[in-house]
Amino acid sequence: MSKSNYQSLAIIDNKILIIRGQKVMLDKDIADLYNIATRELNKAVSRNRARFPLDFMFQLTKNEFENLKFQFGTSSWGGTRKLPYAFTEQGVAMLSSVLRSGRAVQVNVQIMESRYAG
């Protein structure tokens, strides 16, 4: 594996959180990796809601979100108006079917190679 692949996996690993006892990634972090706006990602999900049952994705509670902001500092959350969505490994895999760009496929492969799988 090349040095850049290790760096990519390290970036992804840092975005995987444990919430409700599950490994998840937040919508804003996934959108950043896909190089799209969070609202675009969430729009694609809402158009395909049946593909994302609760064991694939859930919305954080206000308390969970406040705890994350406390852990990571409020500056990284910008002007977040809505509570973020958290995607499990299955949810991230499903994203590749609703976001049909080459970048989405490439990023999903990297995510699946990360510690999500381990």
The CATH number given to whatever domain includes residue 16 is 3.10.260
Q: Judge whether 46 lies within some domain.
A: yes
- The confidence score (pLDDT) of residue 17 equals 94
Q: Judge whether 103 lies within some domain.
A: yes
User: What is the rounded distance in angstroms from the CA atom of residue 66 to the CA atom of residue 110?
Assistant: 29
Q: Angle, to 10 degrees, between the axis of helix 102-113 and the axis of helix 27-34?
A: 120
Query: Which residues sit opposite 34 in a β-bridge?
Result: none
The Cβ-side half-sphere exposure at 109, using a 13 Å CA radius, reads: 6
**Residue 26: its H or E element:** strand 22-26
CA 61-66-69 angle, 5° bins: 130
The whole model's pTM is what?
0.80
* Cα 65 versus chain centre, distance: 14
Q: Judge whether 118 lies within some domain.
A: no
- The confidence score (pLDDT) of residue 80 equals 63
Q: Judge whether 60 lies within some domain.
A: yes
Provide the domain count of the chain: 1
pLDDT bin (cut points 50, 70, 90) of residue 110 is confident
Report whether 111 contacts 25 (CB < 8 A). Answer: yes
Instruction: Dig out the tokens for 16 from the structure.
Output: 């995987």
Q: Which domain holds residue 105?
A: 3-73+80-113
